[in-house]
Amino acid sequence: MKKMRLALLVMAMALVPATAAFAQSAEGEVIVVHGVPELPVDIYVNGELTFENSNFGDVFGPLALPEGSYDIEIYATGADPEAGDPALAGSADLPAGAVATIAAYLQEGGAPTLGVFVENNGSTAAGDARITARHLADFGAVDVLANDGAVWEGVTNGQGADTDVPADTYNIKITAAGDPGTVAFDADVPLGEGTNTIAYAIGSVGGGSFQVATAAISGLAEAPAGVPTGTAGLASESNIMIPLALAGLAVIALGGTAVLARKEQ
């Protein structure tokens, strides 16, 4: 009976942790990316002016928001939201505990659009970093290389991917897919431990506005598994006093036996 109760308790505890974390604060986070060149904008969230006069390349956040649904409307800076339609509009559902990127960006061919992308905010192993790449530029498929080794190949507009690597500085290159000679981006990028560094390729290569904007989700690192700091046993708590005390008692016992033996004679 006791054993069964314990098993049930363990099961219940196993189910609770995920929801307990969410229950503490039913929030998510958003990152907002302005990836449309030559278009300063005012961005309204659920009808409120939230980002004013934002320029191409601006990244906001991660910003904490209550979980829920958000309507996004993007107007040219200064335009009266009552007077006309937004240049771009869309909605995003933000679940608790999630991190989402809301990006205004160019499709291949140049038409602006609004996209929502869920980011990987899972924990990283101690010592690891995470890199995310999102192709949000007016350009064909690309390859992404780290230290001249291909990480992702043939990534097209609107696609993205992430991977975990040992925290370090890496040379990151973005080239036309299968064409290492056509380099759109080449820079040394520090990938911090416990951080998801998100690289958004935005703008137009043909139009000369191509660039890579970034955001970072931090605090993902797990603790190391232990701290191994002793191999000689010199500080061991095992006591030599016990054998010593026993030896002393043995001597007394011997002495006592001897006394008794004498008395018997």
Partner 1 sequence: MKPTAQQNKKRRGGTLVLGTIGLLLAVGAIALFLGTVNQERIVGDIAAVEQSLDSAGATSALPPSSNQRQQASVPTTQPQSSQTVAPNDLSRLDQLSDSSALIPVRLEINGISVDAPVEPYGVDSRTGQMKVPRNVRDVAWYQYGPSPGDAGSAVLAAHVDLAEQGPGVFYRLRDLNPGDTVVVEYSDASVGTFVVKARTVYDKKDLPLDTIFSRRGSAVLTLITCGGGFNPSVGSYDSNIVVYAVPITPAVDSPILEAA
Q: What part of residues 156-195 is at the interface with partner 1 (CB under 8 A)?
A: 166-167, 172, 185, 187, 189-190, 192-195
Compare residues 8 and 257 and give the one whose CB is closer to partner 1.
257
Does residue 62 belong to the site contacting partner 1 (CB under 8 A)? yes
Strands (DSSP E) found in 156-260: 160-166, 168-176, 179-191, 196-204, 211-217
> Using CB atoms within 10 A of its CB, is residue 141 exposed (0-12), middle (13-18) or buried (19+)?
middle
Instruction: Kindly give the residue spans of alpha helices, DSSP state H, lying in the chain.
Output: 2-24, 241-264
Does residue 13 belong to the site contacting partner 1 (CB under 8 A)? no
* Contact status, residue 196 vs residue 216, Cβ threshold 8 Å: yes
Residue 180 CB, nearest distance to partner 1 (Å)?
Answer: 19
Residue from 39, 40, 57, 162 that binds partner 1 (CB under 8 A)?
57
Residue from 1, 12, 14, 48 that binds partner 1 (CB under 8 A)?
48
* Binding to partner 1 in span 237-256, by CB under 8 A: 237-239, 241-242, 244-245, 247-256
Stretch that binds partner 1, among 4-12, 110-118, 148-156, 225-233 (CB under 8 A): 225-233
Compare residues 2 and 262 and give the one whose CB is closer to partner 1.
262
* Binding to partner 1 in span 101-120, by CB under 8 A: none
- Distant-in-sequence, close-in-space partners of 26: CB < 8 Å, separation ≥ 6: 66, 67, 96
Distance between CA atoms of 65 and 59, rounded to whole angstroms?
A: 16
Distance between CA atoms of 42 and 29, rounded to whole angstroms?
A: 20
Compare residues 85 and 222 and give the one whose CB is closer to partner 1.
222
Residue from 22, 108, 118, 182 that binds partner 1 (CB under 8 A)?
22
* Contact status, residue 142 vs residue 184, Cβ threshold 8 Å: yes
Polymer length of the chain: 265
